[in-house]
Amino acid sequence: MSRPETSDTAPGAAAGTAPEIRVEGLHKSFGANEVLRGIDLEIGRGEVVCVIGPSGSGKSTLLRCVNLLEEPDRGRVFVGSTELTDPDVDIDAARRRIGMVFQQFNLFPHLTVTANLTLPQRRVLGRSRAEAAKVAADNLARVGLAEKADAYPAALSGGQQQRVAIARALAMGPEVMLFDEPTSALDPELVGDVLAVMRMLARDGMTMIVVTHEMSFAREVADRVVFMDGGVVVEDGAPADVIGAPRHERTRNFLSRLLDPALAGLPGETPEEAGDAAGG
């Protein structure tokens, strides 16, 4: 799949359409550490936005504030026309519209793959056992794991467990998917299968925010790339612009260390560590 890398429109929702996700003036601190310092972001329906930046820049906190796993100190978050930060909102109902996939797979080790997918459907959505099993089977097939329905997580590779986690999120029928470094805990040879599933979701029109260090994925799949550093959005634009021709020195420093390990200075340095060095 290939998405256009340039655009004549400004970043955000397409002209004349309401954004699927809107973040306004988002602030979040943990004690004296101000992690988000006034984030404004709009994401259109069906848009794929990759968020990149050094560790500690606020990327994961931004995702967790979008579905209110972390409560912002200030600012507003909308999914469609629903304001999640409204004190009177039914937050459980609102969260059902948002699927989230974490770095770790968070599967129940004592349950089969099918049971991991059916349990939240039955408890949260009230689906019958038969309906939940049908939805589980459909989504396991969607991520290429139909044959693993009766397996336990310990019998699966890390990449397979992450695909099960994606299938579990999809089984809840979300309108938006959030991915927080979904491949960072995987061995390199297992990354491709997970990214292939995410490419499929993008092709199918799923609205996605993806925190990632996978620059090839961002170049190929993202409609936009957002570079964060120090709790603010430094650059926001088409992949060809932000990754290929960044305007800001902070972005150039981060990408140079991420894309050229020889510049990282330490043998075996991870992308996250390289990001820390680039971010100052």
Summarised one tens digit per residue, pLDDT across range 44-86 is 999 999 999 998 899 999 999 999 999 999 999 999 989 999 9
Residues 106 and 124: their CA atoms lie apart, in Å, by 17
H-state helical runs in 89-157: 91-95, 113-120, 129-142
Residues 276 and 280: their CA atoms lie apart, in Å, by 6
Q: Please state the pTM of the whole predicted model.
A: 0.85
Does the pLDDT value for residue 98 go beyond 90? yes
- The pLDDT value recorded for residue 8 is 37
pLDDT mean over 90-112: 92
Per-residue pLDDT band for 19 (boundaries 50, 70, 90) equals confident
- The pLDDT value recorded for residue 263 is 53
SS3 91: helix
pLDDT tens by residue, 173-231:
999 999 999 998 888 888 999 999 999 999 999 999 999 999 999 999 999 999 999 99
Does the pLDDT value for residue 257 go beyond 90? no
Residue 251 main-chain phi, psi, to 5 deg: -65, -45
